[in-house]
Amino acid sequence: MYLGGDWQRPPMPAQFSLRVAVLGGIALVMFAIVFLRLWYLEVLSGDKYLAEAQNNQVREFTVQAPRGEITDREGEVLVENRTALELQVKTTELPRTKERRNLLFRRLSQAIGMSPERIRKLIRVQTKELPSSPVTLKRDVPFELVYFLRENQARFPGVSVERVYVREYPHGTLGAHLLGYVREVDEEELKDPRYESLEPADMVGQQGVEYTYDSLLRGVNGATRVQVDASGRPTGGQLSLREPRTGNNLALTIDADVQAAGEAALSRRGNPGAFVAMSVKDGEILGMGSNPTYDPSIFAKPIVPQSVYEQLTSDATSAPITNRAMQGLYPTGSTFKPITAVAALASADLTTQEIINDPGSIEFFGQTFENAGGTPHGPVDLRQALQVSSDVFFYTLGARMNEESPDGGSLQSWGQQLGIGTPTGIDLLGEAPGRLPTPGYRNQKFEQNTSPDSPCGTEVCIEEGEVTDRPWAIGDNVQLAIGQGDLQADPLQMAVAYAAIANGGSVVRPHVGLRVEDPSGRAIQEIEPAPRRQLELQPDWQRTIMEGLNDAAMEPGGTSYAVFGGFPVDIAGKTGTAERPGQADQSWYVALAPYPDPQYVVAVTIERGGFGVDAAAPATGEILTELLNIKPQKIEDVSGESAVLE
């Protein structure tokens, strides 16, 4: 058989055969990978991807839960909710191209009467603050716009009208500093464990009881699952609904009438100031306010301009958002004298019967300290010294209790135990600790001031009250004994200290939360914080101090007799006139009522108000008139002006 010549060709080279084998192997591996991947997708993961494909036909929309109401102790609503229709833009659903987005903004501009430039600015500003949240363009939009957008939804991708709950304040500015406000949770807050269950656009408390009791007031959002088409537009079919759960209600210890009386009393004086009205026995706050105040409803708006924040915090406007009742730090003047008396009695530097001569002035190491106006009071005991507010008497006690140890002596120790210069523990955010000066404090500041690398010159630092130009001296304790010098306290601290003296030594923890109720009104939690500590006050110390304070208010010659001499209910009270560098005298008054078994303490301070009897005492009288349910009457203050107490 003839086979031709090809059968005798030499075999292929080994190198070529190797290449063919390698390429064939690679092709086989690639085929196997594709086969296995398809098998994995079709067989092993088929159900999963089928579910995801079906989910692409479904959208879940959050149904906002209303926050609980806030009421006063009698059930008067202080904060509630109202529903509002809010025009929102979901930036993730806006057209991708610039041309289509500009077209959308032009259409939207015509529909809502807002320029495209304004729409872009609102989107830019809000996404910068809250990148993941929908952008709110308008609130309280009319139903006509709602119907129009729904009928033309395809022309307005990413634009919707949502029903939201907005905080409303039936009494306007009443109790603004206590109540606080709510805003959308931001990215930083979402990192906080207390907000770990929240999502962008959820509302949280930012100040006041809205912040402290946020987890109780905040409800649980619901959700609606609806079917959508390929463009993400709802087709009208609702698949499921999880109802939102309303937050709990919060009843406060506040009496709305007392709160209103206190705020009106401050407003009438015109100057910045603050007041606290508190139960002596358990620390319940019946009223606490600061002047000037602000309208918390401004924070219920979608956008708060930066200029508004600046007005609320600027010294030029007296910083209305500052709660001076627990953040305003001042020397207290003679209202500090009962604290000095307790410290002197406890340290055996004084007895209730000791007589100290008051010639109108006294000298320590070449420095002379005078009474107000240089008035001599002659020989006085503790009760009389409180009645006439003898500075010399308390200067003497300050000198006796002076100690050079870093923490000071009994005056500092007892002042701190009574609550001065330390946070009271009130259930509100932002309480300032204040300052009870000690040798260690002043000496440290002196060293800072004289250090070569001191950050500021002596005069500037002294103005700021942060650095002193000399070390501690006996005069500092002498000044502290009458509530002057480096002391910084606020009305809340003074109220706590006076309450402890009046109730026999129990240092209460002030609180504004009274009771938590479920949405149906059933009480689920009583708020009853225990006292912070119990001090050992001898009954004769307490009795003598209370008698002196009663004489100061109700007896001729008392420092506030001109205001309270004809008051229908006996009280115990102390005036204070505090000197502040660069400021006119600050007016103070602290009252305990009714005497001799006080149930309430009221502390009032008014910046640049003059003597304690000039401004703070009459304001206190107006608060006590409401607190004690006294019929309206007229009280003359020392300036000759009259105020109707009602």
Domain ranges of the chain: 59-252, 256-349+401-436+487-645
> Among all chains, which residue has been given the structure tokens 């502390």?
603
Determine contact, residues 570/594, Cβ cutoff 8 Å. Answer: yes
Determine contact, residues 426/509, Cβ cutoff 8 Å. Answer: yes
DSSP state at residue 351: -
Query: The pTM is what?
Result: 0.83
Class of domain 256-349+401-436+487-645: alpha beta
Predicted pLDDT at 238: 60
* Domain 59-252 part of CATH 3.90.1310.10: yes
* Torsion-angle region of 365 (φ positive above 0: left; ψ -120 to 50: alpha; else: beta): left
Predicted pLDDT at 265: 97
Closest CA to 606 of 275, 262, 178: 275
Fill in the amino acid letter for 304.
V
Fill in the amino acid letter for 391.
D
Predicted pLDDT at 191: 85
> 593 pairs with which residues across the strands?
600
Q: What is the pLDDT of residues 11-65, one digit of tens each?
A: 666 666 677 777 777 877 787 787 777 766 666 665 665 555 455 556 666 678 8
Q: How far apart are CA 525 and CA 269, in angstroms?
A: 39
> Among all chains, which residue has been given the structure tokens 């501690």?
472
Determine contact, residues 75/159, Cβ cutoff 8 Å. Answer: no
In the chain, what is the straight-line distance between the N-terminal and C-terminal CA atoms, in Å?
A: 136
Q: How far apart are CA 603 and CA 578, in angstroms?
A: 14
Strand pairing report for 222-228 and 58-63: antiparallel
Predicted pLDDT at 14: 65
- The reply to whether 256-349+401-436+487-645 shares the fold of 59-252 is no
Predicted pLDDT at 34: 78
Strand pairing report for 523-526 and 513-517: antiparallel
Predicted pLDDT at 642: 47
Q: Which residue stretches of the chain have pLDDT < 70?
A: 1-17, 39-62, 129-133, 225-241, 452-468, 632-646
Task: Transcribe 427-488 into DSSP letters.
Answer: SSTT----B---HHHHHHHHHHHHSTT-SS-HHHHHHHTS--SS---HHHHHHHTTT-TT-B
